Chain A
Amino acid sequence: MSAPAAVPSRDNLVEIRDVSFKYGTRTILANLSATIARGKITAIMGGSGCGKTTLLNLIGGRIRPSQGQVIVDGINVPDLGKKDLFELRKRMALLFQTGALFTDLSVFENVAFPIREHTKLPEPLLRHVVLMKLNTVGLRGARDLMPSELSGGMARRVALARAIVMEPMMIMYDEPFTGLDPISKGVIAKQIRELNDALGITSIVVSHDVVETCLIADYAYLMGDGRIIGEGTPAEVQQSKSEYVRQFMDGLADGPVPYTYPARPYLDDLLGGGGP
Chain B
Amino acid sequence: MKIFQTLGAIVVNGLERVGRAALFLYEVVSGSWVLLRRFYLVIQQVFAVGVLTLLIILVSGLFVGMVLGLQGYNTLVRFGAEDSLGLLVALSLVRELGPVVTALLFAGRAGSALTAEIGLMKATEQLAGMEMMAVNPVTRVIAPRFLAGVAAMPLLAAMFSAIGVMGGQVVGVGLLGVDSGAFWSQMQNGVDFHDDILNGVIKSVVFGIVVSWIAVFEGYDAVPTSEGVSRATNRTVVYSSLAVLGLDFIMTALMLGEV
Contact = CB atoms under 8 A, between A and B. Distances in A.
Interface of A: 60, 62, 86-87, 89-90, 92-94, 96, 98, 100-103, 113-114, 117-118, 162, 166
Contacts of A101: 126
Contacts of B129: 94, 96, 100, 102
Give the residue among B121, B125, B132 with the most A Cβ atoms within 10 A.
B132
19 contacts: A87-B134, A89-B133, A90-B133, A93-B133, A94-B132, A96-B129, A100-B124, A100-B126, A100-B128, A101-B126, A102-B129, A103-B121, A113-B133, A113-B135, A114-B134, A114-B135, A118-B135, A162-B133, A166-B133
B140 interface: yes
B135 A60 contact: no
Contacts, number: 48
Contact of A93 (B125, B126, B131, B132): B132
Interface of B: 121, 124-126, 128-129, 131-136, 140
A203 to B, nearest CB: 15
Given A103-B124, A117-B135, 12 more contacts: A89-B133, A89-B134, A93-B132, A93-B133, A94-B132, A96-B129, A98-B124, A98-B125, A100-B128, A103-B121, A103-B126, A162-B133
Contacts of A94: 129, 132
A96 B128 contact: yes
A118 B133 CA distance: 9
Top 5 nearest A-B pairs by Cβ distance? A100-B129, A86-B134, A89-B134, A100-B125, A94-B132
Contacts of B121: 102-103
Contacts of B140: 117
Nearest to A163: B133
Contacts of B131: 62, 89
Nearest to B132: A94
A243 to B, nearest CB: 35
B133 A96 contact: no
